[in-house]
Amino acid sequence: MGRLPKIRKILNMKKVLIPTKLDKIASDILVANGNYNVLQDHEASLLELASKHPDTYALIVRSEKITSEVLDAFPSLKVVIRAGAGYDNIDTKAARKRDIDVMNTPGANANAVAEEVIALMLANARHIIAADASTRAGKWEKNKFMGTELTGKTVGIVGLGNIGRLVARRLAGFECRLLGFDPLVPAERANQFGIKSVSLETIFRESDYISLHIPENNDTRGCVNAQLLSLMKPGATLINCARAGIIVEEDLRAVKAEKGIFYLNDVYEKDAEGLKTISDCCDIMMPHLGASTREANETAARRSAEQLVDFDEKGITSFIVNRDIPQDLDPSYCDLACTLAALARGLLGKSTIINRIETSFYGHLAPYEHWLMLSLLSGIWDDIDRSTDYDLAMKWLADNGVTYVNREVDPRKPFDNSMTIDLFGVNQKNKIIKSSVRGTVGEHHKMIARINEFDRLYWVPTTEAVFFEYKDRPGVIGKIGKMLADSGINIEDMRNPHNEETGRSLAILSLNKQVGNALLRSIADAIEADTAHSVTLP
């Protein structure tokens, strides 16, 4: 009978499966804790492991695909931890439907990627790969491999998150001139890292080296195109350790042939064996090795284990990325917050750096400010997920110089179950500007009630819309409609409120397709608009 407590202890242990080549520190930490039975097997498939270990409580993975089928194969699964930042290999929505929490370990790989960028720059500048092959072949081609120095060069960093900032720090010893672009980061914040905040066009025009550190989303996909690439100096170098989809491959191929630029690449559409279409453009290409260092692997492994222990023993949920909303909060209001924020952002202009957010939540929405704020932030910035922890989101805002204020509301105002979002920012002319929107949900539809000074709109937002503010006078709407029609664009809905005190009007037009910048400017010029915006809404 003396052995019974130990047997009970073993039976009550939570099984953790690590189906990947992860540093053993994760297993060591969990085993030392005494509450986990850990199995690590990187050779068997996930479905094979599921059949052998159906009682698995937690999975710790790297790049393994965690599909709906895999989740179904683990009936006891409660937690999936991605040892790394990106978690697009995990079906987070399917996990939430099965009441499975998904976590990640953000920042664990940042230094590894930053050092890879420096390694690529040096390897290309000094022809290290080609010179090694030549020398091994018995040749002595010193003149052929005349190199260049990084010292004193201008380096442009696109994206000033963890990795971009670390690249700047690692370059400090090379005495480079650092330029940076990030619409989320105020110029004062960039200056703290020795970076001068400039436009994207300036980076491509003035840099000897350009390093990309932005996510791939609807705003960034294909953003490095012929227009930007054509601005590069002859012989300049472009480095992509971010995502493949942010570059238009055909445009890169054409500009490379014309200007002799260098392209150093570590990212592809798919991480798999086989020939890559981008290979003819690459001066150096690597098999997505950015996070492949012993130190990054150890850090991600350690954080994974520590987060699981903290989750189980302390209830810390900060790193859950598929958090569900409260049962009593209608999800349509989360969608509304996201749409209102995206609209306010679009009316400020994408180049405007936001430095202050103010919100008001009326009626029964007031207790759910934390949840609605996260949806709001996801409408402004694609790299913030609505399942992000509130405290982490607040820290992210503080780190990026953004002040957030949730105002106390006046219950006497007739705005039951409405929300107001005000965004403040600094535009390219260094002028402080503001956009303010209010909305609600009515008859299961999102509804915009007010935009800036224009009230009682009752506009149901659509995916594509344009906004023109102008001095009120007859004939303007007809001119807008004709120019849109001439371009094959149909108006699906319209609002045209006037402000008698200011003599201003606002034209809001829901359209069947997106309006390009050239057409938007042409219409604005034709009607002498004060402001003109084309906005794509979620």
Number of domains observed in the structure of the chain: 3
Check whether residue 100 and residue 208 sit in a common domain. no
On whether residue 319 sits in a domain, the answer given is no
CA atoms within 13 A on the CB side of 393: 24
On whether residue 37 sits in a domain, the answer given is yes
At residue 407, the pLDDT reads 92
Check whether residue 431 and residue 506 sit in a common domain. yes
Distance CA 321, CA 307 (A): 13
Which of 351-355, 468-472, 509-513 is the least confident region? 351-355
Span 407-426, pLDDT tens digits: 988 877 777 889 999 999 98
On whether residue 290 sits in a domain, the answer given is no
Check whether residue 67 and residue 196 sit in a common domain. no
At residue 498, the pLDDT reads 93
Per-residue pLDDT, averaged over 95-114, amounts to 91
Under the banding of pLDDT at 50, 70 and 90, the label for residue 1 is: very low
Per-residue pLDDT, averaged over 464-488, amounts to 95
At residue 8, the pLDDT reads 46
At residue 10, the pLDDT reads 52
Check whether residue 466 and residue 504 sit in a common domain. yes
Is the pLDDT at 238 greater than 60? The verdict is: yes
Is the pLDDT at 6 greater than 60? The verdict is: no
Check whether residue 492 and residue 364 sit in a common domain. yes
Distance CA 163, CA 415 (A): 43
CA atoms within 13 A on the CB side of 78: 9
CATH number of the domain within which 247 lies: 3.40.50.720
**DSSP code at position 90:** B
At residue 5, the pLDDT reads 52
Amino acid at 370: H
On whether residue 354 sits in a domain, the answer given is yes
Distance CA 134, CA 140 (A): 7
Is the pLDDT at 2 greater than 80? The verdict is: no
Distance CA 8, CA 28 (A): 22
CATH number of the domain within which 432 lies: 3.30.1330.90
Distance CA 115, CA 111 (A): 6
Please give the model's pTM, rounded to 2 decimal places: 0.69
On whether residue 521 sits in a domain, the answer given is yes
Is the pLDDT at 137 greater than 80? The verdict is: yes
Check whether residue 410 and residue 451 sit in a common domain. yes
Q: How many residues does the chain have?
A: 538
Check whether residue 343 and residue 480 sit in a common domain. yes
On whether residue 223 sits in a domain, the answer given is yes
Check whether residue 420 and residue 531 sit in a common domain. yes
Q: Which residue in the block uniquely carries the two structure tokens 């493949």? A: 244
514-to-181, 378, 486 alpha-carbon distances in Å: 26, 21, 14
Check whether residue 250 and residue 310 sit in a common domain. no
Under the banding of pLDDT at 50, 70 and 90, the label for residue 11 is: low
At residue 3, the pLDDT reads 56
CA atoms within 13 A on the CB side of 346: 24
On whether residue 61 sits in a domain, the answer given is yes
Check whether residue 270 and residue 302 sit in a common domain. no
Structural domain harbouring 270: 110-285
Check whether residue 241 and residue 384 sit in a common domain. no
Residue 480 in tokens:
């807008």
Under the banding of pLDDT at 50, 70 and 90, the label for residue 395 is: confident
Check whether residue 395 and residue 341 sit in a common domain. yes
On whether residue 320 sits in a domain, the answer given is no
